[in-house]
Chains A and B, each alone.
Chain A
Amino acid sequence: MNCEETTNLMDAYVDGELDPITSLQVERHLRECSKCEQVYEVDTAVAHVVSQAAPYYRAPTELRERIHSALRDAIGPSTIADSARENQLLASRTPPERRNVFSDLPWNRLALAAAILLAAIVASSLFPRMSAPTSDQFLAMQLIASHVRSLMANHLTDVASSDQHTVKPWLDVKLDFAAPVVDLSNQGFPLIGGRLDYLANHSVAALVYQRRKHFINLFVWPVESGTTRATKAVSRQGYHLLHWVDSDFNYWAVSDVSASDLQAFKEQFEGQLRTH
């Protein structure tokens, strides 16, 4: 690495944002080049001074109170607006009822049915979040359901092959992304095949691996911006789910193998992917 390259990467290096290999290259150059070493020390000093000396404006206590009551007010007016709308709805429905003249006519019942339906629609649009599970819980439920279905319906694979060079091209033509497929036979997780699935509003690749008598479904789809990078392990209904994200893809492994086996599977998969 030369001085120019080092200078270009200096800020990312100071911020610890370089990948380990590039970081090592910068480090090596700094050891040899006193000019760049000097730049590095000045940049580190500037970064340090900003962190240390720039005032941090904490919120005054009264602002917390102000926001708290503003939020409470925000609930109030909208409720009044809703009830005004409800009144309006009722006003338009009730007069013929009060006269009690048409009450035996069938269209009247239809109108009532419509009113009830309308009420249900209004009500459901008013609080969609009330009983909805969080998106993660919902996804976990979907993943388990898909895993269980794949085992029950004798529809484990659309393409049954232990050869990654058969599975990958098959998936590539069916999906709008190129899912990573690796064989892990030597690591104790032989590839069984692949399948198309539909999850979280995406077409996804389901890769099927075997661990002794058990199957592992690995669901793969492209990562969206804003996805958190955290690895997540979930256990539910006797299934273990392991989630991780790399620069291109979301991965969810689902199986009834132990959580530690699933963790080992993830590590082997990532290791094999790197050597590819």
Chain B
Amino acid sequence: MALPVEAEHASGNEDFDSPRKIVKFFVVKKAEHEHAQKAELASFEEVMLPHLDAAHNLAKWLVRSEQDAQDVVQEAYLRAFRSFAGFRGSNGRAWLLTIVRNTSYTLLKKNRAVDLTTTFDEEIHAMGHESVSPAIILEHAEDADLMKNAMDELPAEFREILVLRHQEDLSYKEIGDILKIPTGTVMSRLARARGKLKEYLTDRVSQEK
């Protein structure tokens, strides 16, 4: 950095026309700028680091590998910091999760993941699993492995919507904002995602018998 040398010369010279004055001006402004950046980083971390678990959880469900998830989260935090000046809302978690999701999809697309969306089984509701009893489904309420396998078999768009609804307890409106889809689509996609899970659980039950 060449500036400090110039700055030394500037001392004692009060002539406003001097270019050294301008250098001094820059040195002072640069110090202020660095100070402002530190303050901004502190306020960014205060607002966004509390949502680190949520960010990691969503990334892990989307990209699956722990290493990729951590890379995604780090990249998402850097992106979030760069656009923090544009953050206006009060819902820091939803804002951060939007960025985590976008970053995850960038990676998934790069890796050419084939499971981003699904078009099959649109008629889940018509399939009639009404015969299964709620008690049988509730037997799995403690079975984390089963639920992990069940959800991992779903396409990414189902995994993310289940995470946002059931783990982050976000409203349809907030989910719609994150996924950039209308509230009605949030409802139908959630219905399809849960329909698939119901199917999986029912199949498991009949296999066990």
**Contact residues of A with B, CB < 8 Å?**
7, 10-12, 15, 17, 35, 38-39, 41-60, 63-64, 66-68, 70-72, 74-75, 79-80, 82-83, 86-87, 90, 93-94, 97, 103, 109, 112, 115-116, 119, 123, 126-130, 135, 225-230
A226 is contacted by which of B18, B55, B89, B188 (Cβ under 8 Å)? Answer: B89
Binary interface profile of B, 79-117, with partner A (CB < 8 Å = 1, else 0)? 001100100111100000000000000000000000000
Q: A228: nearest residue on chain B (CB-CB)?
A: B90
Cβ contact within 8 Å between A63 and B137: no
Main secondary structure of the interface of B (DSSP, over half): helix
Q: Do A45 and B30 touch (CB < 8 A)? A: no
Interfacial chain B residues near A48, Cβ < 8 Å: 138, 141
Is A66 in contact with B74, judged by CB distance below 8 angstroms? yes
Tell me if B55 and A59 are in contact (CB < 8 A). yes
Is B151 part of the binding interface, using a Cβ–Cβ cutoff of 8 Å? Answer: yes
Q: Are B1 and A83 in contact (CB under 8 A)?
A: yes
Q: Is the CB of B197 within 8 A of A87?
A: no
Q: What's the minimum C-beta distance from B178 to chain A, rounded to whole angstroms?
A: 10
- The contact of B70 among A42, A49, A63, by CB within 8 Å, is A63
| CB–CB B134/A71 < 8 A | no
Given A53-B142, A53-B143, A79-B37: A70 and B167 interface contact (C-beta under 8 Å): no
Q: Provide the bound-state CA to CA distance between A109 and B22, in Å.
A: 13
Taken together as a complex, chains A and B put the C-alpha atoms of A71 and B91 apart, in Å, by: 21
Contact with A along B104-146 (1 / 0, CB 8 A): 0000000000000000000001000110111101101111101
Which of A7, A10, A90 meets B6, CB within 8 Å?
Answer: A90
